[in-house]
Amino acid sequence: MIMGGNSGERRRAFRALALTRAILLLVGLWSLAPLKASASIPRCTVAAVAAMAPPGMSIGAIPNFSGKNEAALQSHGGVMDIPANDWAPGSPEFCLITGSVVTSRPKKTANFAAVLPATTDWNGKFMFQGCGGNCGVVPTPTLSLLRKGYPIFATDGGHISPPGLGGAMSANWAVAGPNTRDEERVTDFFYRATHAVTVAGKALVLAYYKSPTLRHAYFNGCSDGGRDAMVELDRFPDDFDGVIAGDPYFDIPAEVVNSLVTAQAQLRSADAALTPAQFRQVDKILDEDCDLADGVKDGLIQNPALCAFDPQTSLPVCSGSGCFSPDQVSALSIIFSAVTDPTGRVIYPGYPTSNVAEDGGAFADHLAFWAGFKSAPDQISGPEPWRRPENQPIAWAFANQTMRYLIYADVTGFDALKTPGITFEEGARASGGGLHAVIPQTTVDWLTKQTSAGNGDDPSAALAFFRRGHKLIMYHGYADGDITPYRTIQYYRALAKSYGGYDGLKESARLFMAPGMAHCSGGPGPNSFGQAGFNSGRPESDIVAALEAWVENGRAPASIVATKFEANAPSGAIQRSMPLCPFPAMARYSQVGDVNKAENWTCPVKDRGLLGEGKAGRNAGADADLN
């Protein structure tokens, strides 16, 4: 699902929040001594910032900021002057602020954090950074945006994730009592907290810099931050001039059901779960079956939907090593297939057949039962197959928490394996398919009712944003095993219908699909283009710069260059680069030069390569019209 802004966010969020805070405390102890305001940021004191705060905003320490200065902020009342190069090498001096904003009278509030550059560094703009998971933690501001001169605001969504329950993975904050949902907190999480902090944050920025107006306001988020972005532009089209929505969790039921189904498929029998070694074996077979479908053998699957892969016919079945049991084959069939209703109509698309294990790919961290800090279930039935929360695979942990608390609000009688009524039946959408998940219409209706206020997947709701001349950039990794990229593509296709086609839509919104990129970043493909806080240093590889050029100068991005760094770190050597093309165009190799260099690829304007489908795409329901 669900995290916003960087690679493996769910994995980090899942670890107990208490452990994270302990580490951050050690890092931040150096700054417990009193600090003096610098000459360049004379207003960076508690008293000064509090005096400038608009009505409804309070300045003070908060318990759930995830930045490295958390401990020091506690002792300094929520305001600190951070010297240059202290946050990270090359970071500018800035004012770090935490506090809360009233979201609903008389006392409902949401915590926030903000970084404000020195007056001489301010670019005259405003940036909001999305949250991750089920939120509850205020994310660390992105350094690259701070370097651009942006004041950056972020919020916890109006609740604090309890420690020991997986941090931002947890959802028990949504329950007010037995079988009673806390609608105030849920409303804040769905949309109200982000809007309230945006309005108050803009007012504080204008007061802080003594400016009558902002030049522009932007939103940048991934995963739940991508959902925040889409809900914002739907509900509050005047809040931002431009929005970046990555791997969006904007269809909450689709993400929750898919996560539950992937875990439930592997809990069907004692030998249904896939090991990391088997996911790696699947990757090798996918490479053989799918790599050439895009016209070039380069170790990268440009469009997984083109693949002819089918677990029923592509995997060796036997009881020895290097093989898959029949139940394991069925589990993979379920994972790669759409969830349908009892009539066979696609309700939610399945996952892509792309890079399911290598280098933080789609399923290595999200689905595997025995990977990293996870372990085998203690039992394959009952409401809690894993006795210890830290042993749960991410798919199960997220789905169980979100279904149990945010949707059903039932802390005692809910059983994720039984309550939603999901079953498995033969006959996927493509001929010869194996098992796929079937969900009752009553469950679909209930999921929709409980989450509609927090979803941002209605194409018609975005039209008001576009009529104002605002711009939207979406992106999604084709190797995302948290949130299936096919749901984002389905939304964009439906949006294009409202504009009479892709050419018309490209004047307002563009979608960039990233082959081999996992959730928000990471994965074996080129995955760095400014969305996770760093880029390759090339202007065209900076997605925020691309949005700025579009909004401020009318230059729509013809492509965005993505870079693969060694170890997925900006300090590593560049392993590969290639252009990401505006959907539905697929990057095309020139057949000359190094396949690993972006200059040897192009984005043909009239190309429609990402609309192509093979058996894998049909099984996954990638072509289904859900809107």
Q: Which pLDDT does position 429 carry in this prediction? A: 53
Rounded Cα–Cα distance for residues 375 and 436 (Å) = 25
The H or E element that residue 471 is part of is strand 471-477
Burial (CB count within 10 angstroms: exposed 0-12, middle 13-18, buried 19+), residue 162:
middle
- CB-CB contact of 303 with 294 (8 Å): yes
Rounded Cα–Cα distance for residues 68 and 510 (Å) = 35
Spans of the chain, pLDDT less than 50: 1-39, 360-362, 373, 430-431, 532-539
DSSP β-bridge partners for residue 116: 95
Burial (CB count within 10 angstroms: exposed 0-12, middle 13-18, buried 19+), residue 375:
middle
Classified as helix, coil or strand, 25 is helix
Q: Which of 405, 410, 416, 432 minimizes the C-alpha distance to 382?
A: 416
Q: Which of 483, 533, 435 minimizes the C-alpha distance to 141?
A: 533
The H or E element that residue 244 is part of is strand 242-246
Q: Which pLDDT does position 155 carry in this prediction? A: 97
Residue 106, preceding bond cis, omega within 30 degrees? Answer: yes
Q: Which pLDDT does position 502 carry in this prediction? A: 95
Q: Which pLDDT does position 461 carry in this prediction? A: 96
Residue 584, preceding bond cis, omega within 30 degrees? Answer: yes
DSSP string, 489-529: HHHHHHHHHHTTSHHHHTTTEEEEEETT--SSS-SSS--BS
Rounded Cα–Cα distance for residues 480 and 482 (Å) = 6
The pair of three-digit structure tokens given for residue 253, joined into one six-digit string: 């039921």
Q: Which pLDDT does position 404 carry in this prediction? A: 95
DSSP state of 36: P
Q: Which pLDDT does position 20 carry in this prediction? A: 35
Q: Tens digits of per-residue pLDDT, 203-244?
A: 999 999 999 999 999 999 999 999 999 999 999 999 999 999
- CB-CB contact of 429 with 332 (8 Å): no
DSSP state of 483: S
- Taking residue 181's Cβ as centre, other Cβ atoms within 10 Å add up to 18
Helix 441-451 and helix 252-266, axial crossing angle in degrees, nearest 10: 130
Sheet with 423-425, strands from edge to edge, namely 346-348, 339-340, 436-438, 423-425
The pair of three-digit structure tokens given for residue 97, joined into one six-digit string: 């602020």
DSSP β-bridge partners for residue 113: 98, 154
Predicted structure pTM score: 0.91
DSSP state of 39: S
Rounded Cα–Cα distance for residues 366 and 415 (Å) = 21
Burial 500-514 (b: 16+ CB within 10 A, else e): eebeebbebbbbbbb
DSSP state of 402: I
DSSP string, 268-311: SSTT-PPPHHHHHHHHHHHHHHHGGGGT--SS--S-GGG----H
Q: Which residue, chain included where needed, has tokens 């219908």?
A: 497
Q: Which pLDDT does position 319 carry in this prediction? A: 76
